[in-house]
């Protein structure tokens, strides 16, 4: 039998122990959640109906994230078009260049896992909104193409790949696909590859458009602005 004093210490110790366990569990849960998301910048009006996720290209680890994500350009577009843009920043080291960050293209399960992390990260801007579009530049554009070719869910309502291309290893027949636009500078090093990808998609009756601009491997504001005006009327199918 415990005396009253011993019982008091026992229950106090039990309560403290439980409290410590709860605190540790909360800290671990927070770390796990943070590990499953990317640092994300939110631009534009949070109440805007049009929601867009922008995926940057291959990024040097020491580079300014604002420059990598074209934040200045997209901040202007968000204001002009009354849209909201989420720009997640990858923390995944490129397999072929350890000094840079990439999106998960190289692992067999990388695309699906990375896409879910992107969606989870974008919740800091959009909440649980499912009606969104996807724009990717360079490495981000290749990733965006894989998202729609593999039919990953939830699907964006439309997709733009800038300075990028892709390969069709498998295209599962579906009743509908997200509208897809490839944008490329005429002097971009991937121009011919992008045009071949476009032709391959078109031959398979995939809803794809091809846009060119005078320039190289870059994001052209006028072209993107024009596309945003056209796509704003597209609804989630």
Are 167 and 194 spatial neighbours (Cβ–Cβ below 8 Å)?
no
What does the alpha-carbon distance between residue 155 and residue 88 come to, in Å, rounded to a whole number?
A: 17
pTM: 0.83
Cβ-contact 220, 185 below 8 angstroms: yes
Alpha-carbon distance 224 to 85, whole Å? 13
Q: What is the mean pLDDT of the chain?
A: 84
What span, in angstroms and rounded, lies between the C-alpha atoms of 42 and 88? 9
pLDDT band at 8 (very low <50, low <70, confident <90, very high): very low
Q: Is the pLDDT of residue 95 over 50?
A: yes
Q: Is 219 helix (H, G, I), strand (E, B) or coil?
A: coil
pLDDT in tens, 98-131: 999 999 765 656 889 999 999 999 999 999 988 9
């Amino acid at each position: 039998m415990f005396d009253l004093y011993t019982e008091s210490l026992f229950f106090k110790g039990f309560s403290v122990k439980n409290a410590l366990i709860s605190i540790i569990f909360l800290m671990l849960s927070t770390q796990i959640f943070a590990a499953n998301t990317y640092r994300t910048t939110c631009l534009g009006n949070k109440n805007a109906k049009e929601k867009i996720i922008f995926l940057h290209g291959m990024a040097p680890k020491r580079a300014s994230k604002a420059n990598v994500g074209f934040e200045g350009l997209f901040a202007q577009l968000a204001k002009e078009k009354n849209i909201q843009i989420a720009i997640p920043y990858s923390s995944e080291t490129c397999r072929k260049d350890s000094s840079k960050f990439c999106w998960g293209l190289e692992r067999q399960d990388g695309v699906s896992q990375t896409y879910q992390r992107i969606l989870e990260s974008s919740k800091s801007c959009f909440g649980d909104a499912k009606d969104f579009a996807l724009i990717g530049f360079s490495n981000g554009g290749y990733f965006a193409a894989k998202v729609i070719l593999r039919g990953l869910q939830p699907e964006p309502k439309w997709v733009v790949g800038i300075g990028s291309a892709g390969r069709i290893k498998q295209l599962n027949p579906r009743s509908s696909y997200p509208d897809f636009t490839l944008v490329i500078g005429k002097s971009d090093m991937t121009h011919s590859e992008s045009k071949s990808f476009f032709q391959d998609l078109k031959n398979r009756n995939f809803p794809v458009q091809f846009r060119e601009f005078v320039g190289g491997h870059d994001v052209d504001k006028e072209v993107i602005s024009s596309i945003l005006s056209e796509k704003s009327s597209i609804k989630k199918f």
